[in-house]
Amino acid sequence: MHTYDVTVTTSASPETVWKLLVDARTWPLWSKVDSLDTARSVDLDPFGDDGVGAVRAFRTGRTVTGERITEKVEPRLLAYEDAFNTPIHNLHARIELTPTASGTVIHWHGEYETGRLMGWIMPRYLQRFMRGMAEGLARYAEDHKPTR
């Protein structure tokens, strides 16, 4: 079993970060994924509040990965598992948002299995990839905070 574990801080509120996380349509705006594949996604909310059981299919280059939401506690926790994913299997991930006096701590972590060959490459690659995801979310949320 391999893991990744990333923690970043943003000045955006947990509510702002949460809205971006649950709306799969926003992920290409702030993350390393290229697009949301709506043809392979299942039960996406038309108003951007994807619920437990929804499968969100994201395209990055030629690879499409599907993630099924398994737990949702607004605005603190979004958990998912792989619905279909070629390079890794048995993925279980959690994104936990903790409010602070000046914003939000984003803790994005998961565990997964992979084949023997990918076991040499994937841990380092996925740790960097997920750091980029969390940092992109944090910066985008800061730049798109609602005005009062």
**What pLDDT is attached to residue 148?**
54
Separation between Cα atoms, residue 41 and residue 27, nearest integer Å? 14
Mean pLDDT along residues 50-73: 95
Residue 57 belongs to a domain: yes
Structure confidence at residue 147 (pLDDT) = 58
**Residue 131: pLDDT over 70:** yes
pLDDT class of 120 with cuts at 50, 70, 90: confident
Quote the number of domains for the chain: 1
Whether residue 73 is contained in a domain is answered as yes
Is residue 53, in this structure, part of any structural domain at all?
Answer: yes
Q: What are the distances in angstroms from CA 45 to CA 53, 93, 134, 140?
A: 11, 21, 23, 22
How much is the average pLDDT of 95-112?
97
Domain presence at residue 136: yes
* pLDDT of 137 over the 60 cut: yes
CATH number at residue 30: 3.30.530.20
Report whether pLDDT(104) > 60: yes
Tell whether 148 is covered by a domain: no
State residue 58's pLDDT score.
96
Query: Which three-class secondary structure state does DSSP give residue 127?
Result: helix
Residue 93 lies in a domain: yes
Domain that holds residue 41: 2-143
- Say what the pTM is: 0.93
